[in-house]
């Protein structure tokens, strides 16, 4: 089978060329946010979805549009509000008075890349409708099923949940995001460069540097990246430690965890590791690939209690303790 075929040096070289074209385009517009760029590309390689969290104004929308422009994909932006209805996202049937029949009008979710802006400002019902599309890769309108495009990635953003007027995403819904990335403020030098680029109008849409068919090529390559059973057991050990932390990490830290990662978390960690390996020019996974985006894979899959919030203990600190407790193969 094709998935079991070893990736050749020529295929690695072609993949690197595509990566370089996308990265050059992305960083030609974006300043800093290197981790965000890597996370977005990994998400696309795995045909998954990503959740971005930060205060407003840190270029989340710009990053999403830039990565879409680079690969010449269709893009739609949905601004979430408390009164947004599921039909506003997935579409509905409208009456055609000329033919006296109902016609289906697909919603803005039907695109290659969907920016779901401030997802935690929409109601639970609307969140649920969107997350169902993400999981099932299809929408149902009037009893008919419409499959989503082959390349379908949701880039959802949310403001920190302590702000007013937000609705906390449930754990089961968070689990459907491959990665969760937290954005921080740029440093003064980066902010100076941002102002210069704004002045030069570098954010104007430019010609795409690659095509969706090349993205599909990369996605197929990722599936063929070799991952040894030893690495799979390493991933399982990490996930297992999140579930039974008292057996592995200091009790004081373990008591902050109320729920560990699910099997979907293990699958996500494996898929992300394979994508990272390919981006680093290899056709096999090593432990460093597993660790590369470990915070982004697990931070939304580990639930901490109120004591952790009160004591200022972050998910990242817990994850670091877990990685330190698991023996690297």
Which helix (H) or strand (E) segment holds residue 39: the answer is helix 34-45
Long-range CB contacts for residues 323-327, cutoff 8 Å, separation at least 24: 323/238, 323/291, 323/294, 324/249, 325/241, 325/248, 325/249, 326/234, 326/237, 326/238, 326/241, 326/248, 327/237
Residues 135 and 53 in one domain: yes
Question: Which residues, 6 or more positions from 75, have their beta carbon under 8 angstroms from its beta carbon?
Answer: 64, 65, 68, 69, 111, 112, 113, 114, 115
| Under 8 Å between Cβ of 181 and 296 | yes
Residues 201 and 245 in one domain: no
Q: What is the pLDDT along the chain (329 residues), one digit of tens a residue?
A: 345 588 999 999 999 999 999 998 888 888 877 889 899 999 999 999 999 988 877 888 888 888 888 998 899 999 888 888 888 888 888 877 878 888 888 889 999 999 988 888 888 888 888 877 888 888 888 788 888 999 999 999 888 755 656 677 777 788 889 999 998 888 899 889 888 888 877 766 677 889 999 999 999 999 999 999 999 999 999 999 999 999 999 999 999 999 999 999 999 999 999 999 999 999 999 999 999 999 999 999 999 999 998 999 999 999 999 999 999 98
Q: How high is the pLDDT of residue 199?
A: 81
Give the predicted TM-score (pTM) of the model: 0.91
Residues 123 and 265 in one domain: no
Residues 215 and 121 in one domain: yes
Single out the residue in 202, 224, 246 at which a domain terminates: 224
CATH of the domain at 232: 1.10.8.80
Residues 243 and 141 in one domain: no
Q: How high is the pLDDT of residue 59?
A: 81
Residues 36 and 173 in one domain: yes
Residues 30 and 74 in one domain: yes
Q: Give whole-number Cα distances, 124 to 18, 131, 167, in Å.
A: 39, 10, 7
CATH of the domain at 116: 3.40.50.300
Per-position DSSP letters for 94-120, written without gaps between them:
EEETTTTEEEEEE-TT-SSEEEEETGG
Domain encompassing residue 257: 226-329
**How far is residue 114's CA from residue 98's CA, in Å, rounded to a whole number?**
33
**How far is residue 173's CA from residue 195's CA, in Å, rounded to a whole number?**
37
Residues 145 and 270 in one domain: no
Residues 203 and 255 in one domain: no
Residues 275 and 304 in one domain: yes
Domains of the chain: total: 2
Single out the residue in 199, 224, 249 at which a domain terminates: 224
Residues 2 and 50 in one domain: yes
Residues 230 and 214 in one domain: no
């Amino acid at each position: 089978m094709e998935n079991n075929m070893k990736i050749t040096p020529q295929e690695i070289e072609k993949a690197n060329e595509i990566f370089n074209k996308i990265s050059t385009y992305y960083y030609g517009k974006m300043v800093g946010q290197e981790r965000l760029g890597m996370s977005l590309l990994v998400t696309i390689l795995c045909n998954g979805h990503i959740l971005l969290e930060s205060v407003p104004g840190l270029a989340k929308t710009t990053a999403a549009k830039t990565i879409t422009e680079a690969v010449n994909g269709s893009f739609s932006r949905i601004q979430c509000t408390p009164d947004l209805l599921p039909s506003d996202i997935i579409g509905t049937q409208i009456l055609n008075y000329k033919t006296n029949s109902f016609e289906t009008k697909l919603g803005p979710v039907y695109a290659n890349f969907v920016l779901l802006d401030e997802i935690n400002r929409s109601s639970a019902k609307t969140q649920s409708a969107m997350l169902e599309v993400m999981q099932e890769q299809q929408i149902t309108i009037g009893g008919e099923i419409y499959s989503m495009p082959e390349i379908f990635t949701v880039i959802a953003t949310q403001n920190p949940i302590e702000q007013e007027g937000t609705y906390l995403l449930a754990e089961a819904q968070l689990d459907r995001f491959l990665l969760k990335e937290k954005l921080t403020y740029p440093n003064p030098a980066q902010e100076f460069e941002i102002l210069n680029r704004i002045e030069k109008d570098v954010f104007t849409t430019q010609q795409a540097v690659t095509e969706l068919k090349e993205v599909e090529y990369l996605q197929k390559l990722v599936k063929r990246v070799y991952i040894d059973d030893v690495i799979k057991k390493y991933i399982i050990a990490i996930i297992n430690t999140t579930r039974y932390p008292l057996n592995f990490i200091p009790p004081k830290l373990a008591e902050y965890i109320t729920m560990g990662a699910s099997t979907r978390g293990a699958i996500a960690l494996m898929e992300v590791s394979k994508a990272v390996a390919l981006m680093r020019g290899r056709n096999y996974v090593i432990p460093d690939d597993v660790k590369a985006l470990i915070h982004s894979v697990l931070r939304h899959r580990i639930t901490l209690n109120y004591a952790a919030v009160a004591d200022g203990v972050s998910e990242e600190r817990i994850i670091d303790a877990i990685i330190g407790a698991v023996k690297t193969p």
